[in-house]
């Protein structure tokens, strides 16, 4: 909760506007009919004291209220947040006849409670609530929906107060500042540590699989389904049962830990907003899993914003990743995967699993040829690209009409050639020993997790 500092602005009320309009109309009548002059003068003399008295009482004795805000310091993107405003009297003897409350939230957030013309949550306080506020706090609650990842500021709240005779209104602004951040929404993170699934269907399920990695963990009795290659014959020969038969003993392995992952994401024109947000969420989700499994994680971006987060281990590193990446956005600016990989090579001092997320095309073949051949000798590189569904729809029209124009045929041929060249490039990279993953924004999280876990199980990391 924040204490308030306030400033005010006096404004004419609706009653004053109507009274002035009537008086002006009476003056027009007096202009044409002189008999109404005395009525016009008496009306002005009668109403002016009430306007002055109402203004004096409003400025000197009317309560301007106090407000405090209760709000979390961190939001999850796309999740409703409950905001509470506590309103109480400031101690002045006269309570406003009408009270309208506005909370000045950031423009990137939306609210469904008490819609107002200004776009801010607003509400008239009822007579019973005004009476309650004289003696104790009343609570105004509403829901906010944060739509963007960002650092946010609530600059304050506003009251629109009405005077006793409704001649005047007062806009009171309380500087109740609240600060915080909106992070990506990761409800899936709470669903377990070891994940596996089918990327095409977007399925992730928990599994329990005995490790066949590179680190020996323990010996155990043979169980049906174990591979013969896991049998430790030396330990078996020393383990005879009472009837003289040998009891098979197998080696139990666990996945290697203390490995290093580096995520490199393109924040330039190659990844539009939808693709970029999906990629960032997949990065953070896989980072969480890798950190829980004992690996170190680093992150970098290139294009609109150059960023480097050095590798760290342990779950405390996840907070640093979230704080470093939560407000990262893409922009329509040029980006160079070559320079990003070159920069990563200069900073990495041990073998790492590098995951670069961009949108690789035919022109990247020559520009990346040298750096890719150089990097695969020292590190394991996975190049992640998004499928271009719009181009695929043009290249493979579902219900193509036989009466197509020449322009439509040429457009289809160009789209087909573009996709064929992309896939030819990806096959070339795969044959040279690189890892390539082409997926859609919807399934990138599942696809990356599956790739990481399969590589851990295979011992390639």
Q: What pTM value is reported for the model?
A: 0.72
pLDDT per position as a tens digit, 248-268: 777 765 555 578 999 999 999
The answer to whether domain 258-458 has CATH 3.40.50.410 is yes
- Mapping DSSP onto H, E and C, the string for 295-313 reads CEEEEEEECCCCEEEEEEC
Q: Residues with Cβ < 8 Å from 419, sequence gap 6 or more?
A: 388, 391, 392, 395
Asked whether residue 194 carries a pLDDT value surpassing 90, the answer given is: no
CA R_g for the chain:
34
Least confident residue range of 77-86, 103-112, 167-176: 103-112
Average pLDDT on 74-85 reads 89
Rounded-to-integer distance, Cα 384 and Cα 444, Å: 9
pLDDT value at residue 258: 73
Nearest alpha carbon to residue 162 among 188, 121, 130 = 130
> What DSSP designation does 238 have?
T
3-state secondary structure of 178: strand
pLDDT value at residue 301: 96
> What DSSP designation does 385 have?
E
Domain 1-183 fold is Immunoglobulin-like (2.60.40)
Alpha-carbon distances, residue 125 vs 2, 87, 161, 221, 435 (angstroms): 21, 10, 10, 73, 62
pLDDT per position as a tens digit, 130-186: 666 566 778 888 888 998 899 999 999 999 999 988 899 999 999 989 999 998 887
**Six token digits for residue 247:** 């009891």
Give the residue extent of every domain in the chain: 1-183, 214-254, 258-458
Alpha helices in 269-332 (DSSP H): 273-292, 316-325
In the chain, DSSP finds a helix count (H) and a strand count (E) of 12, 22
**Six token digits for residue 298:** 């680093």
């Amino acid at each position: 909760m924040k204490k308030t500092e306030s400033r005010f602005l006096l404004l004419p009320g609706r009653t004053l506007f109507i009274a002035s309009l009537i008086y002006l109309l009476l003056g027009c009548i007096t202009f044409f009919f002189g008999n109404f002059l005395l009525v016009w003068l008496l009306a002005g003399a009668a109403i002016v004291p009430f306007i002055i008295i109402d203004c004096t009482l409003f400025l000197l004795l009317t309560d301007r209220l106090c407000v405090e805000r209760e709000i979390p310091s961190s939001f999850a993107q796309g999740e409703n947040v409950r905001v509470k405003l506590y309103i109480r009297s400031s101690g002045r003897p006269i309570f406003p006849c009408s009270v309208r409350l506005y909370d000045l939230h950031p423009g990137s957030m939306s609210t469904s409670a008490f819609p107002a013309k200004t776009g801010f949550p607003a509400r008239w306080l009822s007579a019973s609530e005004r009476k309650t506020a004289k003696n104790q706090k009343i609570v105004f609650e509403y829901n906010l929906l944060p739509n963007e990842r960002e650092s946010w500021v609530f600059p304050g709240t506003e009251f629109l107060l009405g005077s006793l005779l409704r001649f005047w209104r007062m806009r009171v602004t309380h500087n109740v500042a609240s600060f915080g951040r909106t992070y990506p929404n990761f409800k899936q993170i709470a669903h377990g540590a070891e994940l596996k699934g089918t990327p095409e269907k977007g399925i992730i399920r928990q599994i329990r699989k005995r490790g066949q990695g590179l680190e020996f963990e323990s010996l155990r009795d043979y169980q049906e389904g174990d591979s013969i290659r896991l049998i430790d014959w030396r330990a078996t020969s020393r383990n005879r049962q009472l009837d003289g038969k040998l009891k098979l003993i197998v080696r139990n392995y666990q996945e290697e830990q203390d490995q290093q992952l580096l995520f490199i994401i393109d924040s330039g024109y190659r990844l539009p907003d939808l693709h970029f947000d999906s990629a960032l969420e997949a990065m953070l989700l896989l980072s969480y899993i890798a950190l829980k499994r004992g690996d170190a994680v680093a992150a970098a971006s290139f294009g609109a914003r150059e960023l480097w987060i050095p590798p760290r281990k342990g779950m405390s590193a996840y907070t640093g990743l979230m704080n470093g990446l939560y407000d990262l956005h893409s922009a329509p600016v040029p980006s160079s995967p070559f320079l990003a990989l070159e920069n990563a090579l200069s900073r990495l001092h041990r073998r790492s699993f590098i995951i670069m997320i961009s949108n690789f095309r035919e022109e990247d073949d020559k520009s990346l040829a040298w750096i890719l051949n150089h990097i695969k000798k020292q590190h394991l590189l996975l190049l992640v690209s998004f499928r271009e569904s719009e181009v695929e729809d043009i290249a493979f029209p579902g219900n193509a009409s036989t009466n197509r124009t020449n322009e439509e045929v040429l457009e289809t041929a160009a789209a087909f050639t573009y996709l064929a060249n992309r896939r030819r490039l990806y096959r070339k990279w795969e044959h040279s020993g690189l890892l390539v993953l082409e997926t859609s924004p919807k399934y990138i999280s599942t696809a990356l997790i599956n790739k990481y876990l399969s590589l851990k199980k295979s011992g390639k990391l």
